[in-house]
Structure 1
Amino acid sequence: MNAPGGPGLSPTWASSDKDIVGTALGPSRVWYTLGHGILDEVYWPSCSTPQIRDLGFIVAGDGFWSEVKRESHYELTTPAPDVPLPKIVHQHERYRLELEVLADPLRDVVLLRYRLEGKGLKLYALLAPHLEGSGHDNTAQVTPQGLAAMKGGTALMLAADCGFTRASAGYVGSSDGWRDFHDHGAMTWQYDCAPNGNVALMGELAGNAGVLALGLANTVEGAQTLALSSLACGFEAARAPFVEGWQRWAGHLKCEGLEPSLQQAVRRAAMVLKTHNDRDFPGAMVASLSVPWGDTRDDPGGYHLVWPRDAVESGFAMLACEHHDEARAMLAYLIATQQPDGHWLQNFYTDGRPYWGGVQLDEAALPVLLAARLDEYGELGDLRPQATTMARRALRFVARTGPFSPQDRWEENAGINPFTLGVAIAALVAGAAHGFLEKADATHALSLADDWNARIESWVYARDTELDRTHGTRGHYVRIAPPGQTAQDGEVALRNRGRERVSAQNLLGLEYLYLARLGLRAADDPRIRDTTRLIDAELRVDLPAGPYYRRYNEDGYGEHEDGSAFDGTGVGRAWPLLSGERGHQALLAGEDPQPYLAAMLASASEGGMLPEQVWDTTPIPERGLNPGRPSGSAMPLVWAHAELIKLVAAIHRGQPVERLRAVVDRYRTPRVPAVTHWREQAPCRTVNRSGVLLVEAASPFVLHLGRDGWKHVDDHVSEPLGFGLHGVRLDVAKLGAQRTLEFTRRFLGERGWEGRDWPLLLLPLATSGGND
């Protein structure tokens, strides 16, 4: 008989508050997550595609029933920090439930061993299928072999070695097992099927100790075969190779010389990174096996997608552990997923299919830095030819698009920001220094990098603002300068605050820290010191476990004041990741980085998972929000785990793993650029009277040039430059202008005259501070 009440409530995912995540290192293609002491999302056949919301339990008998995940009194242990085989013990006054979870290394099966102790009690398994990444249009069915679900070309089977005494399929919110217990205090329904809806399955286990097998395949028959064959071999037969596989992998991690608890934290963080790697597409690493605020929304993408930025940050962490093979695999994957014009998609499934369509300049530059660091270690090997091709395409994109980026690293605003700009400059230098570029492009790359580096402050540094006057600083780096404007006079629309507009000069962030981290600015540069003073005053949140930082003032990405979930607006909370970035700066500036490292470690879950954000204000116990503990944002966040590893390595070695010798050597002392590169997306307002001005564009043009108010007008035809650009090179001193230059351009082809004039004020002498 079919269950009533279809198609059920609107589906949601499990909480993003994960205890631990895991997978097997073998042919198996399943990834599991645990939260609140039960099995949450299981991913198959890639770590981009969740197939269930959760698999939990009800304990019942003698007029009593308890849903295990709502009790939340449990302990979690693993055999070792780098072996994700969780053992969970739930303690209740009426029962003790022990669970142990792993992935069968040989099959697409998650195994769950259970043992219930409690007089007169029975155990009921509750399964919520969300096949093909969605809770819509699933069909649940009770079969003689177990609990099945199917949708399109995907199916699952939950089988028990002791079998089910009885079972039922239903629709969430009306005829599911939890609703049955809620309404009747016992299992009273036994529906055979619930087609095409948001469905759930429940089965009364025939024994209080045994093993469950969740098999996934393209057909119910295939899922059943996998689950039953895994049960036939037994839990221990899977456990031994599971542990051995992780121990063998972890044996190559290099984190000696650390005190034991810190070494354990690094090994656990490395395990988290490895768990987020795909099986069919080696080197593909998703950002998190979670859906932020998943228990309140139906988000098909979540964070289980590849973000090139997050991936490369993790690649550097693997290099810090001397796991060079992992970094090489990632570089090969990035080479394969690069777009024809040289950039990478904002994010994508592990097979390369696009998800969001944004473009971020840092995501084009970072893979070049990873290739250069591998080369610096002598580990590029046979990847060099392909890495060279990749770098040429990526740097062509960077050179033609920058310093402007359509999106910043928080994916909210277009403009110029210190993080993206710093990464782009470092990549241009690295491309030339490591032989990735042909001679003409290498020359242009270095010239462009020098110019951008000298002009950083003209774009993203504000002076003598209200913030400065309040805190006694002379100026500061801002989070971002909007398109066509500067830090001093621009306005920024806040995406998560209803597009509210704020002055760019009042918008602080930690992006500037990468200028010192990469070696573009000294850590004790007065401008760096002043900005650090401001972020410590405005963005720092001191909690009992230590200092944490918000992304920027006026951030809206986080829970609301009342603790309700982020729903497009909210209040930005504190990020442990940013404690790591501040810790790097402390190290470089000769301060103690340990408080920042301690704060990161203290934010971890029971199983050592680091969250994207922590709750940073008054506790709201009814919502599970406590200061310094994970909020409803993503957990684990791969980038945070990578930052932890890199901070530990930097403390141990004395410098950040991202630093390249070529970049540090080039900008060890202030460098006056030989050429000022003028381009429409970031035009300069002044030029040195004794310098060289290079007016650039992506296509050929004629420069219509005037002096001192359009006197002495002449035309200059552009010539080919590096990276396929075109430009007119002008020796300013020879132009005969006294005060100003002005020009407009006529492009060859359909565009014709651009329809506006561009004025430049002549400065008397070349300076190292850059042009406005």
Structure 2
Amino acid sequence: MSPVTAPVASSPLVVAPVAPGAPGAVATWASAAKTGAGASYEAYVDGRYQDGGPTGAVSKVWFSLADGVLTETMYGLIHEAQIKSLRFGVVTPGGLSVEGTDTTSRTEYLHTDRDGRPLSPAYRVVTTDKGGAYQIDKRVFTDPDRNALVLRVSITAKSGPVTPYLLLEPHMANTGGGDRGEAAPEALRASEGDVHLTLAPSQPFEAASAGFLGASDGLTDLTANRRLTRAYASTGDAAGSVVLTGALPTIAQGQTLTRDYVIGFGQSAAEADAAAAASFATGLDEVVARFNGEGARVGWEDWVGSLTELPRLAAQSTDDGKLAYASALMLKVQEDRTYAGALIASLSNPWGETVDATNPSTGYKAVWPRDFYQVAMALMALGDRETPLAAFRYLPQVQVTAQTPGNTGATGWFLQKTHVDGQIEWVGVQLDQTAMPIMLGWRLWKAGELSDAELAGFYSRMIKPAADFLVQGGTAGILWNDRRITPPWSQQERWEEQEGYSPSTTAAVIAGLTTAADIARASGDAPSAARYQAAADDYASKVEARMFTTAGEYGDGRYFLRLSRNENPNDKGLLGENNGQPAEPEDRIIDGGFLELVRYGVRAADAPSILDTLPEYDDQARADRFRVRYDLNGAPGYRRYGNDGYGERTDTGGDYGVGGVMAPAQRGRVWPFFTGERGHYEVAAASANGPMSTEARDRIRRTYVHGMESFANEGLLLPEQVWDGVGANAHGYRDGEGTDSATPLAWTHAEYLKLLRSLADGQVWDRYAPVAERYGR
């Protein structure tokens, strides 16, 4: 809270037409530790998103919540942020208090069933001043029939009079600069190019101002003067980092002020105005009822109700299914509404508060085929019969072909990271990301969701080129990448950092080729089927020879490496430097990738190489740099690998990669989905020789299911990383609490749901029968 200063003379508000101080301070993104994320449910029309279906016009607005305030809000494509934050600054008898900084908060779902399980991603967020001066209650949801976001706000003065100010920081066109703003009591507006927003209040503001961040904005004025002393009608012709401010009436102690706000988006100011006005005209009670799908309305309740397996999965939980329902919502929320089936990694920008927003940034709001596969498989596990098929049909957009812009090299592999419209962002070759689309297609085919005829079309168009690449490799020729790839050697493994032979990558490649062989036979291509299976046989026969050391530094020296850079796992070759961490001999670096060999069926759960590696993976006596397992909240948790530097600094507690600098003190923390991966191994072991016992199922539920549930925050969102208790803790995290890396992480929610499905089925959901029957006996 800003301290009380000498009283300011009650001089009149100075009103001016144009704000000075352009372009303002450099803007950043918001915290990635989201406690809520939402969008409307939109029904497909013939497998696509288009107006006129059961849910009417398609709304293309997403929002997020962190620290009790509205954070990144997207309109258009799912990565196109238009707002950084909307919060309130409140002048109290003790000084200026700002939401997020000077408040505590709680987040809860507005619409739940009688057991408290969420039925839609509409939220109630309550912030309370740390000094006890006020409380703010916000209801947040989108309008499912138009491009608009709704906030219904009540502010209560607790211990004296308070004067609130709405503070909107737009980031139009996915940048923190280049914006223009206008402010009037009737509306606040921002724009960049052909993207516009209008914030319309249910009652006019007492005063309104548009200013430049850190120079002429309302928060800077309030911090200095404890009231708005100057109001600017616009930012004029200059563009920059803009803040829009709306003053509300003073609230007497014990009184509550209620206001509604609708933020409309559009390709013109008139279109944004019309969107906001139409939401008000519909009535906001009706808007939220449509959002939820109450009664005869089609909305989120209908989608949740269509998930035939969700009740069965929820029965395996230890929290009465609350996280299972929230996880289902999070996976569907994080799908684009223009490109059906385009599933992103997270609706967040990692460590956003220290990331420069001058240039556009997708953060994790992008397509990685690996994360994509996890989500599609989890949606299948829920009984969703539409989204996984739409996802599979989307995949050709991110596969490299002769027509891929700028490509002069090999084809068939899948791009590392793209925007949902297919725009290329990263171009490293990761062989698991080329195998997993094949695996997904096979599962859909075997489930009867993909017809023989459609499968044959996809075989020639997408699956055969991918499988051919997994056999023969090739030389990449796109942007910076001109490397020769010789499978199963991969230019990058699943952590996108190292080249070589990886157990997790190889497991996916073997599963991809085995399922490709099955598809090839069904498509009448027996020669290719034989070729694919022969390659899989060769790769499977050399798994231990290439990646299992018998002369390692730990234990008896026998265990799987995270990665071997060549075909000799005993040569103690150095891995590359990454994330500020020094190169280390490969036998010092262990990860959980070997468990994927069991998950997909490449090795049995009791294979000697697997059993030899488990004690080293679970060893908690190792020095922190190389230690992987940390028990948190009474459950086993795991880092990505020893020597991981993708996380907060141990010396200062500062964020990862601030200013693009890779610091030696950076440390990757515990990732909750590894608890699920370890649990999946236990499912495989418990079901290896017959039906899983009740005792084994209960043990896995108590240890691994409950463990994952313990990592969820109050909004039932699961993070990428949680605090492991090592080093300086500048953020004050409790052990096991999500850090600012990325929440919600779709992969974590997917792993949780797949673990529930595996327990419900009594066998691993991601197990591929043809693989297990051939290699995993």
Q: TM-score range by the shorter chain?
A: 0.7 to 0.9
- Are 2:732 and 1:629 aligned? no
2:48 aligns to what? Answer: none
Q: Secondary structure at the match of 2:88?
A: strand
1:759 aligns to what? Answer: none
Q: 1:270-325 CA distances to partner (integer Å, 9 max, x unpaired)?
A: 10000001111110011100011000112612101111110111111011111121
Task: Choose the corresponding residue for 1:202, options 226, 245, 248.
Answer: 245
Equivalent position amino acid for 2:30 in 1:
A
- Are 2:129 and 1:21 aligned? no
Task: Choose the corresponding residue for 2:611, options 525, 529, 534.
Answer: 529
- Are 2:311 and 1:256 aligned? yes
Distance of 2:107 and 2:95 partners within structure 1:
26
- Are 2:398 and 1:337 aligned? yes
8 Å Cα contact 1:388-1:437 kept in structure 2 = no
Q: Secondary structure at the match of 2:513?
A: helix
Q: Structure 1, unaligned stretches of length 5 or more? A: 670-772
Distance of 1:654 and 1:619 partners within structure 2:
40
8 Å Cα contact 1:618-1:627 kept in structure 2 = no
Q: 1:200-221 CA distances to partner (integer Å, 9 max, x unpaired)?
A: 1111135921211111111122
Please say which of residues 473-482 and 309-318 is displaced more in the overlay. 473-482
Please say which of residues 154-163 and 637-646 is displaced more in the overlay. 154-163
Task: Choose the corresponding residue for 1:131, options 172, 186, 193.
Answer: 172
Please say which of residues 212-221 and 364-373 is displaced more in the overlay. 212-221
Cα deviation, residue 23, structure 1: 0.3
1:357 aligns to what? Answer: 427
Cα deviation, residue 10, structure 1: 1.5
1:241 aligns to what? Answer: 290
2:464 aligns to what? Answer: 392
Distance of 1:256 and 1:495 partners within structure 2:
43
- Are 2:139 and 1:95 aligned? no
Distance of 1:131 and 1:544 partners within structure 2:
40
Cα deviation, residue 263, structure 1: 2.3
Q: Secondary structure at the match of 1:413?
A: coil
Q: 1:502-550 CA distances to partner (integer Å, 9 max, x unpaired)?
A: 1112211111100011111111112111211101113100123422101
Equivalent position amino acid for 2:244 in 1:
L
TM-score (norm 2): 0.83
Q: Structure 2, unaligned stretches of length 5 or more? A: 1-16, 43-57, 113-117, 251-256, 294-298, 402-410, 474-486, 620-626, 687-695
Q: Percent identity?
A: 33
Distance of 1:437 and 1:130 partners within structure 2:
53
Q: Secondary structure at the match of 1:192?
A: strand
2:122 aligns to what? Answer: 85
Cα RMSD between the aligned structures? 1.8
What is the aligned length? 664
- Are 2:560 and 1:477 aligned? yes
Distance of 1:446 and 1:117 partners within structure 2:
68
Cα deviation, residue 575, structure 1: 0.5
- Are 2:671 and 1:563 aligned? no
Cα deviation, residue 558, structure 1: 0.3
Task: Choose the corresponding residue for 1:168, options 201, 209, 213.
Answer: 209
Sort the Cα spacing of 1:220 and 1:270 in 2 relative to 1 into closer, same or farther, 3 A.
same
Q: Secondary structure at the match of 1:251?
A: helix
Cα deviation, residue 578, structure 1: 0.9
Sort the Cα spacing of 1:139 and 1:483 in 2 relative to 1 into closer, same or farther, 3 A.
farther
- Are 2:528 and 1:441 aligned? yes
1:293 aligns to what? Answer: 351
Cα deviation, residue 182, structure 1: 1.3
8 Å Cα contact 1:563-1:625 kept in structure 2 = no
Sort the Cα spacing of 1:315 and 1:388 in 2 relative to 1 into closer, same or farther, 3 A.
same
Computing the radius of gyration from Cα coordinates, the structure with the larger value is: 1
Q: Secondary structure at the match of 1:105?
A: coil
1:586 aligns to what? Answer: 682
Q: 1:453-505 CA distances to partner (integer Å, 9 max, x unpaired)?
A: 000111111113221xxx3x35111111115654544321131125x221112
Q: Secondary structure at the match of 2:229?
A: coil
Cα deviation, residue 82, structure 1: 3.4
Equivalent position amino acid for 2:311 in 1:
E
Distance of 1:126 and 1:475 partners within structure 2:
59
Q: Secondary structure at the match of 2:344?
A: coil
1:508 aligns to what? Answer: 590
Sort the Cα spacing of 1:337 and 1:649 in 2 relative to 1 into closer, same or farther, 3 A.
same
Note the 1:3-152 alignment, pairs <5 A.
3-26=19-42, 27-62=58-93, 64-78=95-109, 79-80=111-112, 81-92=118-129, 93-118=132-157, 120-143=161-184, 145-152=186-193
Distance of 1:524 and 1:259 partners within structure 2:
25
Task: Choose the corresponding residue for 2:268, options 209, 212, 219.
Answer: 219
Q: Secondary structure at the match of 1:211?
A: strand
Equivalent position amino acid for 1:398 in 2:
L
Cα deviation, residue 144, structure 1: 5.6
2:221 aligns to what? Answer: 180
Q: 1:226-257 CA distances to partner (integer Å, 9 max, x unpaired)?
A: 11221222211211110000000000112234
Distance of 1:2 and 1:545 partners within structure 2:
58
Distance of 1:371 and 1:6 partners within structure 2:
52
Cα deviation, residue 54, structure 1: 0.7
Distance of 1:205 and 1:328 partners within structure 2:
49
Cα deviation, residue 356, structure 1: 1.4
8 Å Cα contact 2:316-2:756 kept in structure 1 = no
Distance of 2:514 and 2:609 partners within structure 1:
23
8 Å Cα contact 1:611-1:636 kept in structure 2 = yes
Q: Give the number of the structure whose residues are more often strand, by fraction.
A: 1
8 Å Cα contact 1:89-1:97 kept in structure 2 = yes
- Are 2:579 and 1:496 aligned? yes
Cα deviation, residue 123, structure 1: 2.5
1:655 aligns to what? Answer: 763
Cα deviation, residue 3, structure 1: 2.0
Equivalent position amino acid for 2:720 in 1:
E
Distance of 1:437 and 1:460 partners within structure 2:
35
Q: 1:647-705 CA distances to partner (integer Å, 9 max, x unpaired)?
A: 11112212221112211111243xxxxxxxxxxxxxxxxxxxxxxxxxxxxxxxxxxxx
8 Å Cα contact 2:119-2:301 kept in structure 1 = yes
8 Å Cα contact 2:398-2:418 kept in structure 1 = no
Q: Secondary structure at the match of 1:190?
A: strand
Sort the Cα spacing of 1:130 and 1:183 in 2 relative to 1 into closer, same or farther, 3 A.
same
Please say which of residues 194-203 and 486-495 is displaced more in the overlay. 486-495
Q: 1:548-598 CA distances to partner (integer Å, 9 max, x unpaired)?
A: 101111110000012100013411111001111111112222364231222
8 Å Cα contact 1:211-1:231 kept in structure 2 = no
8 Å Cα contact 2:182-2:233 kept in structure 1 = yes
1:348 aligns to what? Answer: 418
Equivalent position amino acid for 2:700 in 1:
P
Cα deviation, residue 61, structure 1: 4.7
Distance of 2:514 and 2:549 partners within structure 1:
26
Q: Secondary structure at the match of 2:73?
A: strand
1:712 aligns to what? Answer: none
Sort the Cα spacing of 1:445 and 1:622 in 2 relative to 1 into closer, same or farther, 3 A.
closer
Q: Secondary structure at the match of 1:17?
A: coil
Sort the Cα spacing of 1:437 and 1:410 in 2 relative to 1 into closer, same or farther, 3 A.
farther
8 Å Cα contact 1:162-1:205 kept in structure 2 = no
Distance of 1:593 and 1:110 partners within structure 2:
41
8 Å Cα contact 2:547-2:567 kept in structure 1 = no
Distance of 1:291 and 1:487 partners within structure 2:
39
Distance of 2:774 and 2:151 partners within structure 1:
56
